[in-house]
Amino acid sequence: MAVQPPPAGRRIVIENAAVATVDAHDTEYARGHVVVLGNRIESVGDGPAPAGLDGVARRIDAGGHLLTPGLVNTHHHFYQWITRGLAQDDILFDWLVALYPLWARIDDQLVHAAAQGSAAALLKSGCSTAADHHYVFPRGGGDILGAEIEAVRELGLRFTASRGSMDRGRKDGGLPPDHAVEDLDTILTACEEAVDRHHDPSPGAMLRIALAPCSPFSVSTRLMRECAGLARRKGVRLHTHGSETAEEEAFCEAQFGMGPTDYFESVGWLGEDVWMAHCVHLSDSDIAKFAGTGTGVAHCPSSNARLAAGTARVPDMLAAGVPVGLGVDGAASNESGELGTELRNALLINRLHGSPRALTGRRALRLGTMGGARVLGRQDEIGSVEAGKLADLALWKVDGLMHSSIADPVAALTFGALPPLALLLVNGNAVVEQGRLATVDEERIARTCARAAKELAGREK
């Protein structure tokens, strides 16, 4: 069952919270209020809410809590929730080669289970909008994209489902096994169908579609070009992996005679409607191309660390004006699956560039909210707490044992342990209450995911 939109005249009033709006001026209130009307923010400001409001269904005294925008995840592979804890000590290419055969045996039922696990972990860590990148479509696997979308709808997460693809198998010089890839015509037909069937371009949409060939080493040049043309005809965004590892760079030099960013440029893949995961190995001229074209970046600090991919030059990208958001990346390279903890990981990892000012706590929060909103092209609707925006809000408890002695509530969230999530509103609906999913039974998801992981591991090759 999908979570339904709230009644239009219903109000939720939150008062006494520390509010970090993440608006253009980084406005904060030490004791502020937010009023939600239907699925949108009606007002935000200092002190108590205006008196005499009608239709107040819920009034929350949020003393001891920090209110922020719901977090925005810009890169993930939900299906990997049931292939976690494998290939623990490999770099990307070896990790992929180890996991492709397992992934090539997934189907719609297993993806449904895994998507609920991944979406649950995101919601429980304060994430209200997520993009996923699904690129494995085995023959006979059923309606995998539809299953993923249904799974997410039940939990109430705002969603961009990226119809991914791979058509460059081993025999064509690619990395995936030949039986794990699709042919170009099948992919383009499926991409067009996905947009026609699922994409909701209307304001406030809970579901959007993007097109997302997987990476230069698993996708043909023709598919890159044709997907870009199709996405632009259909008015949807483009997503892929780019410049993740030194090995990818070497692959591009050998195959195309140029580095990944120049390759993406040559196939029409730089632009405001494009965002890429990782971008760890960017030169100054690559960063200038991203900034000049408005191409977005999904920064995935935990995954980059787990796979020893390197440290993305986020401070340089931000200084140049590149849109940057945060991503969990697939759960097989980030078993935690939590977006909230990526605020702290981004903060710490980027300081390894050599300056404590490389990323501030508030800049990390901005990456995880407005930065992500911009990367997904939704900066006018989500990513900050401002009147008229969608009511996607996270309320963090910062007066408990782990946080009560931290001087600054935003530092409690970004430097401290991830605080307990008292409430998460998505589209004005409470989807997490006191750290628990409000719309579904968490234990059922845990059991289903355990069964699915076991079943997949036991499937014949």
Compose the 263-282 pattern: x for residues touching Zn ion by CB under 5 A, - for all others. Answer: --------------x-----
Q: State in angstroms the smallest separation of the CB of 234 from Zn ion.
A: 23
If the CB atoms of residues 148 and 329 are measured against Zn ion, the closer one turns out to be 329
Q: Which is nearer to Zn ion, 38 or 242 (CB)?
A: 242
* Closest residue by Cα to residue 256 from 225, 231, 228: 225
Smallest gap from residue 42 Cβ to Zn ion (A) = 37
Is beta strand 65-69 parallel, antiparallel or unpaired with respect to 393-397? antiparallel
> Which CA distances in Å does 404 have to 127, 189, 298?
23, 55, 32
DSSP 126-148: TEEEEEEEE----TT---HHHHH
Q: How many residues bind Zn ion (CB under 5 A)?
A: 2
CA dist., res. 427 & res. 271, Å (int): 29
Report, in Å, the least distance between residue 80 CB and Zn ion.
9
Range 329-358, binding Zn ion (CB under 5 A): 329
- Binding mask 223-252 vs Zn ion (x if CB under 5 A, - otherwise)? ------------------------------
Residue 449's beta-bridge partner residues? Answer: none
Question: Whose Cβ is closer to Zn ion: residue 28's or residue 329's?
Answer: 329
Provide the H-helix boundaries in 36-107. 92-103
Nearer to Zn ion, 79 or 396 (CB): 79
CB of 330 to Zn ion, least distance (A): 5
Bridge-based pairing state of the strands 40-46 and 237-242: unpaired
Q: What are phi and psi of 347, to 5 degrees?
A: -60, -50
Tell which positions 193-212 bind Zn ion, by CB under 5 A. none
Smallest gap from Cβ 77 to Zn ion, in A, equals: 6
Interatomic CA distance for residues 155 and 281, integer angstroms: 36
Comparison of 277 and 339: residue with beta carbon closer to Zn ion: 277
User: What is the DSSP pairing of strand 296-299 with strand 429-433?
Assistant: unpaired
Min. distance of Cβ 245 from Zn ion in angstroms?
A: 12
* Closest approach of Zn ion to the CB of residue 139, in Å: 23
- Nearer to Zn ion by Cβ, of 77 and 366: the residue is 77
Tokens representing 421 are: 């999530």
Q: Kind and range of the H or E element at 446?
A: helix 442-458
Token pair listed for 409:
């509530």
Q: Looking at this protein, which amino acid is placed at residue 250?
A: A
Name the token pair of 426.
């998505």
Complex with Zn ion: residue 194 or 277, whichever CB lies closer: 277
Draw the binding track, 291-330, toward Zn ion (x: CB under 5 A; -: no contact): --------------------------------------x-
Query: Within a 10 A sphere around the Cβ of 319, how many other Cβ atoms?
Result: 11
CB 327, min distance to Zn ion, A:
8
Task: Write down the least CB distance from residue 383 to Zn ion, Å.
Answer: 22
The H or E element that residue 332 is part of is none
Specify whether the CB–CB gap between 211 and 238 falls below 8 A.
yes
Q: Specify the residue, 306 or 389, whose C-beta has the smaller distance to Zn ion.
A: 306
Which CB, 96 or 151, lies closer to Zn ion? 96
Site for Zn ion, rule CB under 5 A: 277, 329
